[in-house]
Structures are given as structure tokens and as C-alpha cells.
């Protein structure tokens, strides 16, 4: 893991993250189903992980000393697929096969289908338990790799997840870093309306976790948080990453209705017609919300 990030590297990663958002919209439009808001919001974190933070090798995905990345909220896997393709795990053209019959790119990731995917995910609340098992085994075997577990805020409604929180705190799994996508939405509405979660910081601290809260769309802040997590002794760390669901597309940002629909799937009040959504969303990303001139104008 790199221990330093300069302004040039941050700018490079921000550019890659926006490219990832463009590929994501193209991919979801082709698939005709999937999830949009969460993946857009997590583009910065996945880009930082795969292009700066993780010790990994796309040409040798089974490298024994690789860091392990567990995706608990498997429904946001489209952005993981995009960034994996960008980093060289498989051809970018394969992104167009998302959710199609026989594809390696299932709607939720499957471990045996795609090299570089550590676990099969889908049932929310189970990923942290898997990550705890990997981190605990690494300690027993005196392995130096780190385990990262990405979770949604909504899946903290699950009791099984809190059992894993207790296990990690009790066993002082300092080689484990949890990352919560705190975007405040889930499929039925805002998290605090469906099932209030706060105070998340106090809850994790009560179970002996080191807690960091950051702007999850600030790549430098996220990288700094992963460095701090690696320096914490005898406690697991959780990074509560406050992200903007739908980041980069103003018609989607903070709108829970886009949790489980994709461009072109249906008309949504306040958004372009479904026939125009993909084109307009891509243009918005390519021009950074109109701040630069579109090459298509």
C-alpha cells in the first residue's frame, strides 16, 4: 500500500473515477437492469482502492500476499467490475455483458466466475462475517495482508452484521478495515426513515472499533484514512464514508428512487425521459455538470 499521495496523483485518480462513472452508465444502460445511485457514489473509493491503496496484481489475482477486498453490499458490484476492468483484470469490452446469460459479470459477484473476486455476495449483512474470518485466519497464519470490507449503511439493519462487529472488536482484528457507504438511502427510502442507524460512530466505538468519518467522495481523505487504519494497533477500524448517492449526475443525487433502477428503465419525475436519460447523464459526466464544454455540442 502506498504511504503517500500527492496532488498530481489525486487529480489522476479523480479523472479515473469520472471515467469509471461514464463506463458505469454505459454498462447499466446496456444491461437494462441493476443499481445506479450507490455505484456512482462509490466510484471514488473503488478507484482509490484499486489504483492506489490495495496490494494486488491483476495479472496474478491469486497472489498469496494480496490484500483481500470483500464486498458485502454486492448490489453495487457494477462499479467494482468497471474499476477492475480499468485496472486490467479483464477487457473493458466485457462490461457490456453485465447480467446477461452466461456472463462472468453477474448482478451480484460470484467468487468462482471472475478472478479477483474473493467471495460471493448478495445476502446483506453477511460480508463482514466473511471478512472477520479471513482476517482472523491471517493472524493465525502470521500473514501480513490486510482485509477490507465494504458495507452499505442500510445493511446495518441486519442483526448478523452486528454479531460480526462484536467478534472483530473482541478479537482485536487490527488487520481489518471496514468501509461503510454512508449515503443515507436504501431501496424503500432514506435510512433514517426506514430504520434509524445513528449514532453509528458511538455504536462501533462501543464494540472496541477505531472509527474514522470522512467525505467518501474526497479521494485524498479516503487514502489518508486507510493509512491511519493500518497504523492502529489491537483494534479493527471502520471508515464511515459519507458519500453522495448518484454522485456526478444532479438528477440522481440523493434520490433513493435510483437505488435499484438504471438509465432508460423508466420515467422518473425530475429526470429526463427514459429515452434520453443515458445520453444526458453521460453528457453531464463528460462535462462535469456543464462546467466544461461538451465535445458533442
pTM: 0.94
Q: How far apart are CA 97 and CA 189, in angstroms?
A: 30
Q: How far apart are CA 240 and CA 249, in angstroms?
A: 23
Whole-number pLDDT of residue 64 = 96
Put residue 290 in one of left, alpha, beta given phi > 0 → left and psi -120 to 50 → alpha.
Answer: left
Using the predicted structure, report yes or no on whether residue 283 has a pLDDT greater than 70: yes
Average pLDDT (26-34) is 94
Q: In this structure, is the dihedral angle defined by the CA atoms of residues 31, 61, 148 and 47, taken in order, positive or negative?
A: negative
Burial class (CB in 10 A: 0-12, 13-18, 19+), 233: exposed
Average pLDDT (160-166) is 97
Per residue in 181-240, pLDDT tens? 999 988 888 889 999 999 999 999 999 999 999 999 999 999 999 999 999 999 999 999
Per residue in 111-139, pLDDT tens? 989 999 999 987 898 999 999 999 999 99
Whole-number pLDDT of residue 271 = 87
Measuring CA to CA, which residue among 146, 166, 134, 180 is closest to residue 56?
146
Spatial neighbors of 40 by CB under 8 A, at least 6 apart, are 21, 24, 79, 245, 246, 247, 248, 249, 252
Per residue in 236-266, pLDDT tens? 999 999 999 999 999 999 988 888 889 888 8
Using the predicted structure, report yes or no on whether residue 1 has a pLDDT greater than 80: no
Whole-number pLDDT of residue 297 = 42
Whole-number pLDDT of residue 4 = 74
Whole-number pLDDT of residue 293 = 53
Domains of the chain, start order: 7-286 (3.40.50.970)
Q: Provide the 10 A C-beta neighbour count for residue 63.
A: 13
Residue with cell 455504536: 203
Look over the chain and give the mean of its residue pLDDT values, rounded to a whole number: 93
Average pLDDT (156-177) is 97
Higher model confidence: residue 260 or residue 289? Answer: 260
Task: Say if residues 47 and 17 touch (Cβ distance below 8 Å).
Answer: yes
Q: Provide the 10 A C-beta neighbour count for residue 14.
A: 18
Amino acid at each position: 500500500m502506498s504511504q503517500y499521495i500527492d496532488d498530481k496523483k489525486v487529480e489522476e485518480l479523480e479523472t479515473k473515477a469520472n471515467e469509471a462513472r461514464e463506463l458505469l452508465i454505459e454498462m447499466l444502460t446496456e444491461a437494462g437492469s441493476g443499481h445506479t445511485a450507490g455505484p456512482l457514489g462509490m466510484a471514488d473509493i473503488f478507484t482509490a482502492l484499486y489504483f492506489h491503496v490495495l496490494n494486488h496484481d491483476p495479472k496474478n489475482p491469486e497472489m498469496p500476499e494480496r490484500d483481500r477486498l470483500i464486498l458485502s453490499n454486492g448490489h453495487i458490484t457494477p462499479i467494482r467490475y468497471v474499476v477492475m476492468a480499468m485496472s486490467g483484470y479483464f477487457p473493458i469490452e466485457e462490461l457490456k455483458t453485465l447480467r446477461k446469460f452466461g456472463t462472468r459479470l453477474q448482478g451480484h459477484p460470484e467468487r468462482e466466475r471472475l478472478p479477483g473476486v474473493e467471495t460471493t455476495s448478495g445476502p446483506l449483512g453477511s460480508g463482514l462475517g466473511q471478512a472477520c474470518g479471513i482476517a482472523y485466519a491471517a493472524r493465525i497464519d502470521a500473514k501480513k495482508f490486510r482485509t477490507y470490507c465494504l458495507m452499505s449503511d442500510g445493511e446495518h439493519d441486519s442483526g448478523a452484521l452486528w454479531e460480526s462487529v462484536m467478534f472483530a472488536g473482541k478479537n482485536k482484528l487490527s488487520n481489518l478495515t471496514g468501509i461503510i457507504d454512508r449515503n443515507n438511502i436504501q431501496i424503500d427510502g432514506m435510512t433514517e426513515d426506514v430504520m434509524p442507524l445513528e449514532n453509528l460512530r458511538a455504536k462501533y466505538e462501543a464494540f472496541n472499533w477505531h472509527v474514522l468519518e470522512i467525505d467518501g467522495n474526497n479521494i485524498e481523505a479516503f487514502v489518508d484514512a486507510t493509512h491511519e487504519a493500518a497504523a492502529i494497533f489491537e483494534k479493527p477500524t471502520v471508515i464511515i464514508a459519507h458519500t453522495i448517492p448518484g454522485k456526478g449526475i444532479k438528477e440522481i443525487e440523493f434520490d433513493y428512487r435510483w437505488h435499484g433502477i438504471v438509465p432508460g428503465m423508466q420515467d422518473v419525475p425530475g429526470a429526463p425521459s427514459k429515452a434520453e436519460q443515458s445520453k444526458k447523464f453521460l453528457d453531464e459526466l463528460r462535462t462535469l455538470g456543464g462546467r466544461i464544454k461538451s465535445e458533442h455540442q
